[in-house]
Amino acid sequence: MTDEKASFIVLDVNGELILRSIRPVASFSDQLFGSPQHRRTCSLILVINLALLLLIVDPGNSAETETTLRNCLARTYESNPELASQRAILRATDERLPQAKENWFRPTLSATGGAEWEDEESTQGFDAAGSGLVSAPYHTRSLAPDVDVNLEFPLFRSGQTVYEIKTAEAAIDAGQWDLVSTEQSVLGQAARAYASVVLYRTLVEIDQREVNAYIPLLKMAKDMYQSRTATITDLAQVEVELAQANATLANDQGLLETAEANYQAVVGIEPSNLAPLPRLEPSVHSLEEAEELGFKNNPMIRSAEANVEQAQYAVSARKTALLPTVGLNASFQNSWDDYTVISPASSKGPGTQDTRVGSVGVTATIPIYSGGIKYSYIREALQDETASELSLTNTRRQQISILRGTWKHRKALERVVKAYMGAVSSAKTAVEGKTREYKNGTTTMQEVLLVQESLYSVLADHATASNQLFQTEVDLLQSLGTLTAAGFQLPLTPYDPQKHLEEVRDKLIGW
């Protein structure tokens, strides 16, 4: 332009580039930024940086990313070692059922065998009592193998086996709910790690834009200070703003590196391009429905209930140990004795003696007294039952209290996020308004910088509040018992604990 009293400014508040002509008015900005040419350059740099910032943080302009939360959770579900370890623990617990069925009309068969070799030699003797009888010398050798087969078959145990089976089934039920609890914990760790990476990447991006906005202003302030059109105080103010922005950037970069390392530890891979955080809406719409679902699905409550059942059946099993038992016993013994007479030669030579003994019987055992140990076992089981019932009461109280608090906290955070969304819109409007005021010469660049700093702060606060809301939604789903692969409908086949249980339930041989 040929008119030195007019200049152009690029303004982008709503995502559109607007070219407008303004005529600056002499004000404090003339003293701070010098000539109109300097002011034009400063305004252009400032607003271009604001435009780039708003384009980046606008969700509508975000590029489509590669990794979604569901992909992250699916990867974690299939590869996390903590979850795999808990599955192995449950498979070991499954073995309690076939162990409890040992006496459920199942025989115990055993066999023993051996062989004895004997070499016996005797010299000629005499009768010391004077009867005149003299023993003849002899020498024999023999090999006597034998086999002993025993069969035991329980017929009646006064219900002890039944209660042992029910105790094992209750333990397996508790183990399955413990697996769900571990699954929720692991998936929750992955979701929180995902959210932390998204948060700090957003904050670092905002911080970097803030630093980039101050760098050209600092250079201009130094040039103006050298030309004596600005004071040392003006230069110091810009340096302070830049230093604070760099410190915030460095801190958030460190937190981002920590978040990425935690993500890799939980998920098993480095975080790539992560999609924005989704909303995790629960399947219920009121606190009453949430509490009802929590009592039904919360794995910690259900595991505690199964532990109470296990303790009750254990008491019954201990008591039946005082009652009679009846069993069938059968045995068969066979022994062979192969012998050879070496001397005297006139005696009979090689010989064989075969012995067979078989028996079948029914045995009834009536316990009378065993030093008091069985009564001690009963008292121990009764105390375990009391402890498990009290633990269930405590678990219900704690989990429902957590559920109620999380539900209300989520509602509060929704209002916070909504308020920050309005604050972001207001901050953008403030930047636009202050820029227009600056064009009209009714405000200073310092005030424009203040509203710019306010916009950065509100953007960071909005990202942080959104992250807190997501974390609370994760906690809520965990309290409801729906933070699972099935609850998220992950693109995989969920682990089925019943499959292994059915494989070993009636397995009689093999491993």
The 3 state secondary structure assigned to 135-191 is: CCCEEEEEEEEEEEEEEEEEEECCCHHHHHHHHHHHHHHHHHHHHHHHHHHHHHHHH
Q: Are residues 216 and 356 in the same domain?
A: no
Q: How far is it, in rounded angstroms, from Cα 244 to Cα 477? A: 39
Q: Are 414 and 476 in contact (CB under 8 A)?
A: no
Establish if 502 belongs to a structural domain.
no
- b/e map of 317-349 (b: 16 or more CB within 10 Å)? bbbbbbeebebeeeeeeebebebebeeeeeeee
Q: How far is it, in rounded angstroms, from Cα 302 to Cα 392? A: 9
Q: Are residues 30 and 133 in the same domain?
A: no
pLDDT at 133: 66
Q: Are residues 150 and 168 in the same domain?
A: no
Model confidence pLDDT, tens digit, residues 169-210: 999 999 999 999 999 999 999 999 999 999 999 999 999 988
Q: Are residues 360 and 448 in the same domain?
A: no
Q: Are residues 487 and 452 in the same domain?
A: yes
Q: Are residues 424 and 292 in the same domain?
A: yes
Establish if 318 belongs to a structural domain.
no
Q: Are residues 90 and 201 in the same domain?
A: yes
Q: How far is it, in rounded angstroms, from Cα 97 to Cα 164? A: 9
Q: Are residues 76 and 34 in the same domain?
A: yes
The token duo for 229 is 């059109």
Q: Are 419 and 471 in contact (CB under 8 A)?
A: no
Q: Please spell the DSSP secondary structure of 80-111, one letter per residue.
A: -HHHHHHHHHHHHHHTHHHHHGGGSS--EEEE
pLDDT at 80: 94
Establish if 463 belongs to a structural domain.
yes
Domain containing 216 equals 7-59+67-96+161-312+373-494
Q: Are 125 and 134 in contact (CB under 8 A)?
A: yes
Q: How far is it, in rounded angstroms, from Cα 304 to Cα 285? A: 27
Establish if 499 belongs to a structural domain.
no
Q: What is the CATH number of the domain that holds 473?
A: 1.20.1600.10
Of residues 82, 305, 35, 294, the one with CA closest to residue 187 = 82
Q: Are residues 149 and 280 in the same domain?
A: no
Q: Are residues 304 and 391 in the same domain?
A: yes
- CB neighbours of 295 closer than 8 A, spacing ≥ 6? 301, 396, 400
Q: How far is it, in rounded angstroms, from Cα 468 to Cα 335? A: 81
pLDDT at 127: 58
Which residues share a beta bridge with 115? 145
Q: What are the mean pLDDT values of the chain's consecutive 10-residue runs (511 residues total)?
A: 34 33 35 44 48 45 66 95 96 95 89 87 64 70 88 91 95 97 96 96 92 80 76 78 90 96 94 92 92 95 96 95 92 84 64 84 91 94 97 96 96 94 87 74 72 87 95 96 93 93 90 83
Q: Are residues 255 and 283 in the same domain?
A: yes
Q: Are 77 and 86 in contact (CB under 8 A)?
A: no
The token duo for 263 is 């993500």
What residue type is 507 in one-letter code? K
- b/e map of 275-288 (b: 16 or more CB within 10 Å)? bebeebebebeeee
Of residues 190, 188, 207, the one with CA closest to residue 255 = 207
pLDDT at 132: 61
Establish if 401 belongs to a structural domain.
yes
Q: Are residues 340 and 438 in the same domain?
A: no
pLDDT at 213: 77
Establish if 333 belongs to a structural domain.
yes
Q: Are 265 and 190 in contact (CB under 8 A)?
A: no
Of residues 506, 511, 470, the one with CA closest to residue 190 = 470
Establish if 507 belongs to a structural domain.
no
Name the domain count of the chain: 2
Q: Are 201 and 91 in contact (CB under 8 A)?
A: no
Establish if 319 belongs to a structural domain.
no
Q: Are 309 and 170 in contact (CB under 8 A)?
A: yes
Q: Are 270 and 72 in contact (CB under 8 A)?
A: no
Coil vs helix vs strand at 133: coil
